[in-house]
């Protein structure tokens, strides 16, 4: 994770924390690991962050294989955590 900024580390750590909370609440791994699109994720979980900054951080996390998602125009669809993230945190 040395290639990431503190803000990018915060973003992926929060996604991981949300996954763990959902999983502990009985959601399946697939459901727990689905965060929708960047606009909804930012509104629901990262509302204290500027959208463009959040979007850029997610794009960098995708490039570095921590997240997956479909980048289209000004949004990222079907965001989920990749195995690299689980390995880093577990």
Q: Give the CATH number for residue 58.
A: 1.10.10
Residue 50 forms part of a structural domain: yes
Summarize pLDDT for 5-49 with one digit per residue, the tens.
Answer: 999 999 999 999 999 999 999 999 999 999 999 999 999 999 999
Neighbours of 64 (CB within 10 A): 16
Q: What is the DSSP letter of 2?
A: T
Annotate 16-78 with three-state secondary structure: HHHHHHHHHCCCCHHHHCCCCCHHHHHHHHCCCCCHHHHHHHHHHHHHCCCEEEEEECCEEEE
- Rounded to 5 degrees, φ, ψ at 46 are -130, 35
The proportion of the chain whose per-residue pLDDT surpasses 90, expressed as a percent, equals 96
Its domain, for residue 15, covers 6-89
Mean pLDDT on 63-76? 97
pLDDT interval class at 2 (50, 70, 90): confident
Residue 37 forms part of a structural domain: yes
Q: Give me the number of domains the chain comprises.
A: 1
Residue 1 forms part of a structural domain: no
Residue 24 forms part of a structural domain: yes
């Amino acid at each position: 994770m040395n290639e990431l900024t503190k803000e990018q580390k915060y973003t992926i750590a929060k996604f991981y924390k949300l996954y763990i909370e959902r999983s502990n609440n009985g959601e399946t791994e697939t459901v727990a690991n689905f965060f929708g699109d960047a606009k909804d994720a930012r509104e629901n979980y990262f509302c204290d962050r500027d959208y463009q900054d959040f979007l850029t951080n997610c794009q960098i996390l995708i490039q570095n294989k921590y997240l997956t998602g479909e980048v289209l125009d000004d949004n990222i669809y079907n965001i989920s955590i990749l195995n690299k993230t689980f390995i880093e945190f577990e």
